[in-house]
Amino acid sequence: MNNICLFPGTFDPVTLGHTDIIDRALPLFDKLVIGIGRNVNKVPMFSDEQRLNWLREIYKENPKVEAVLYEGLTVNCCKQYNANFILRGIRYVNDFEYEKAIADMNRSLEDYIETIFLTCLPQYTSVASTLVRDVLKNGGDVSRFLPDAVNETIKQNGIGK
């Protein structure tokens, strides 16, 4: 059996915190599916297509990585891509409490799906998409928190500084 992992999130925008978790998880799995979840309760700053394009651009040289869009339950996305693992990044202790509750629910729904937590490196602890969006909306420079592909788009579209 292949070890396929789903890394779900909104990735709005993709940050260096996200790519750190992805890059460090790659040796652990045969395939990593990055699932951009569509949440009806959230209006993203960047389109689904834009976020998908960023991830595909960043990992275009890595055949182990696939980026997809999904709606609904994360466990259903796991089934669709034959993923038996869910990857989640942890920045702070309170992240763990929240993520553990989700992992427990997912495990209750599908007991073969195991959630794997990776802690982010210290330099990415404060890099959250929500904070990056706030800085962008207020004209700040977020370039040091974002991969080159994301910075290029932001620069081309005149977003932020």
104 Cα distance to chain centroid? 19
Of 31, 64, 91, 100, which one is the catalytic site residue? 91
Q: Is 100 a catalytic residue?
A: no
Q: Which of 51, 88, 129, 133 is catalytic?
A: 129
User: Look-up: residue for tokens 């040091």?
Assistant: 144
Strand positions, DSSP E, 10-60: 31-38
| Catalytic annotation present for 91 | yes
Spatial contact of 100 and 69, defined as CB atoms under 8 Å apart: no
Which tokens in the block code for residue 134?
Answer: 């706030």
- Judge whether 155 counts as a catalytic residue: no
* Catalytic residue of the set 42, 60, 137, 161: 42
User: Is there a contact between 84 and 112 (Cβ–Cβ < 8 Å)?
Assistant: yes
Rounded to whole angstroms, the Cα distance separating 107 from 135 reads 36
- Token pair 């750190």 in the structure block, residue: 20
Q: Which of 18, 51, 88, 133 is the catalytic position?
A: 18
Rounded CA separation 77/138 (Å): 35
144 is a catalytic site residue: no
Active site members:
18, 42, 91, 129
